[in-house]
Amino acid sequence: MAQRVLVTAGAAGIGKEIARTFAANGAAVCVCDINAQALDAAAKEIPGLKTIVCDISQRQDIERMVPAAVAALGGLDVLVNNAGIAGPTAPVEDTNPDQWEAVMTIDVIGTYHVTRLAIPHLKKSPAGSIIVMSSVGGRFGYPNRSAYCTAKMGLIGFAKTLSRELGQYNIRCNAIAPGAVGGERIERVLQGRADVEHKTLEEEREAAMSIQSLKRFVDPKDIAALILFLTSDAGKSISGQVLPIDNDAQTSS
């Protein structure tokens, strides 16, 4: 039977690539996103894609979205918790508290609500699987990125807890920890670092490359391929793990 897959924040970037990859491999895929126009565009690009508008910062939106997605898919086998924001770039003492809390609301609390509502449906699957999107920031601390790193480290703990709770139901859970992923988002992050540290964008790009043995940004297609493997029968013995996909990033300094 074809996998039934829900991807949060799936209208663009990494999320859309994940949706595209699953669909290309025969899965029934539903994505949610806050951007209705981007959802419409994604649906035109990916045959059969189901879409739902949802603001992951709003619990009532999530409580409406998950049942609607499951109904559209006819069940649920795979949940990819991709939704998240990068948040502010500033020292802790200078960080805007509202911006800091917004990262927790979307990255951590939103992931929790989507997952708790998906679990009863995943229990009905013969091979349920959950992917939690962490980051290299969940493995290392980064100066001026306290909200993001805190959220991504917390998500690793969430994923490991889920794996222990849900293994008895044959549901696997793993965290993915990408490094710097090519695209508009990393450019904004690098510019934010450059502004705070009074450096040029090119200096920040060089610094990002300096901690990696492979001198390139991560390709979103590679992240999608890793997730496809983990949630397939080939990954049936992998659970409770944090899988870096970061071009061998070794340190945050």
Model pLDDT for residues 175-186, shown as the tens digit of each residue: 999 988 877 777
**Is residue 93's pLDDT more than 60?**
yes
Q: What is the pLDDT of residue 205?
A: 73
- What residues contact 94, with CB distance under 8 A and at least 6 apart? none
Q: Is the pLDDT of residue 252 over 50?
A: no
Mean residue pLDDT of the chain comes to 93
pLDDT digits (tens, 9 = 90+) for 11-27: 999 999 999 999 999 99
Average pLDDT score over residue span 68-85: 98
> What is the pairing mode between strands 50-53 and 28-33?
parallel
Bridge partners, 181 (sequence order):
218
Q: Give the residue numbers annotated as catalytic, written as ranges.
A: 148
Region 106-115 average pLDDT: 98
Burial bucket for residue 155 (CB in 10 Å: 0-12, 13-18, 19+): buried
Q: What local confidence, expressed as pLDDT, does residue 251 receive?
A: 61
Contact between residue 192 and residue 89 where contact means Cβ atoms under 8 Å apart? yes
Task: Look at residues 252, 235, 100, 109 and name the one whose alpha carbon lies nearest to residue 176.
Answer: 235
What one-character DSSP code corresponds to residue 82?
Answer: -
The fraction of the chain above a pLDDT of 70, given in percent, is 99
Pairing of strands 78-81, 129-133: parallel
- Out of 63-72, 205-214, 235-244, which region has the weakest mean confidence (pLDDT)? 205-214
Give the pLDDT mean for 151-177: 98
Task: Give the mean pLDDT of 135-164.
Answer: 95
Degrees to nearest 5, angle at CA 56 with 50 and 62: 65
Type of residue at 200 = T
**Nearest C-alpha neighbor of 75 from the set 1, 170, 2, 4:** 4
Residue 249's pLDDT is what? 79
Write down the domain spans for the chain: 4-179+218-245
The predicted structure's pLDDT at residue 64: 98
Residue 66 structure tokens: 């998950």
Residue 35 in tokens: 């951007």
The CATH topology of domain 4-179+218-245 is: Rossmann fold (3.40.50)
Range with lowest mean pLDDT among 65-79, 97-111, 114-128, 176-190: 176-190
As a whole number of angstroms, the distance between CA 245 and CA 105 comes to 25
pTM of the predicted model, to two decimals?
Answer: 0.91
Question: In whole angstroms, what is the distance from residue 55 CA to residue 63 CA?
Answer: 11
d(C-alpha 211, C-alpha 223), whole Å:
19
